[in-house]
Structure formats: structure tokens, C-alpha cells
Amino acid sequence: MMIHAYQEIYLSKAQSVLGDAFDYAVNICGIPGNDFVKLFVASSVSKRMENGEPAYLAGKSGIEIVIEIVEETKSQKLHIELQEHFERSKEYWIGWAVAYYQWHSIRKYRDIFKVVSFEDLQKMYYTLHEADITKFVDIVDSRMKEYFVETNLKRIRTVYGVTQAELAERSGVSLRSIQMYEQRNKNINKASVETIYRLAKVLGCTMEDLIEK
């Protein structure tokens, strides 16, 4: 079962906040999209949104978030009129869609933007902004899998929501072995049946799920 950082009832608000932030940063403040992505990822704001801190999901506006990001990362105060921008721009959609994907996938914003750049997202807008969000999720998921080739063990452990140390303690398989299986330094397909059984039992999956095809 996927363990999200915050409840789904906050999701639409988080999406609109990040959508407004991208829209305001690019269209009102004139910050190039790629530059704003770098500032956002470098800031503590992205981590706080990932962690589901209420102040950053529902307490602050997109404008306030941009001001905070610029001040934190560049030590600059934005002297731009705080005007609301009600048009749903391409930049708004980018922030809106990425916020959804981050919640859905529980990946870090830093990793998402490594795989899909601001330009990639701009191109996706034309075909996807009126489509169901699941189409966007499927496309980004497939790119993620190409970029981050994770072992089945790491993928299932991450989704299950346990650390390597917790899995080691609960399964009786050494932490070092788990690390080596996940880094492909040891081949899990050659592990003993007992080892795979213990890992699968803790993770609530079948032994076959952990085997690399």
C-alpha cells in the first residue's frame, strides 16, 4: 500500500498552490521556468510540500511561496505587486500536474525535475492539459522507470514505506545484503529461498515479485 505524505483532501489545494507559484514566478515576476524549477528544488519549500506540512499545502498562497523561495535561495526580496492571476496558464498547469504526480508517486520534486524538464512539461501541456491526470502520471512514470532503474526489492520496499534498516530488522536479512541487492552488487536471483521468503513476507508481496526478470 502506498503511504502518502498527506491526505488526499489536501491534494487539490497543494496543486493550486504550486500551479499559482509557477504562474506567478514566470508570468508576473519574469523568472525563466527552468530557473524557477532550480530555485524551487533547492529551497526548503519543496521538501516541506513533499512532507505534507499544512502551512505549505493550505496555509500559504502561491505568491507567498514564490517570495519565500526567492528570498531563501537568492537572498532577494521580490518588489513586484502582489496581483492575483486568475487565468489558467500553461505554467499553472505545470505546477498543478507536478504537484499531483509528487503526491501520487511519493517521489521527491528533485527527482521528478531530473527526469522531466520545464521544456518537457511545456510540450506536454498541449496534448495533456485537457486529458485526465492519469495520462500525465503514466507518461512520467514510464520516463521515471527509464531514468531510475530500480530493483524490484527497492521499488517494493519504498512503496511499502520501510527503510532498509527496518526491513533488515524485521526480516532477519542483514542490512548489508539488502543494500547490495538494491545496488545490484549482489544478484537477488541467486539468494537463498529462505532469504527471499523472509523479505517477501515482511513486504507483503510474493517471492516472484522480488526476482529480477
Q: Which residue has the cell 521528478?
A: 112
What's the DSSP call for residue 131? Answer: S
Model-level pTM? 0.74
Amino acid 82: pLDDT:
62
Whole-angstrom Cα distance, residue 182 to residue 39?
31
Q: How high is the pLDDT of residue 105?
A: 84
Q: Is the dihedral of CA 18, 20, 25, 26 positive or negative?
A: positive
**Residue numbers of the chain with a pLDDT score lower than 50:** 1
C-alpha 105, offset from chain centre = 6
Q: Which residues of 13-32 are buried (b: 16+ CB within 10 A; e: fewer)?
A: ebbbbbbbbbbbbbbbeebe
Sign of torsion over alpha carbons 195, 197, 202, 205: positive
What per-residue confidence (pLDDT) applies to 212?
84
CA distance 127 to 130: 7
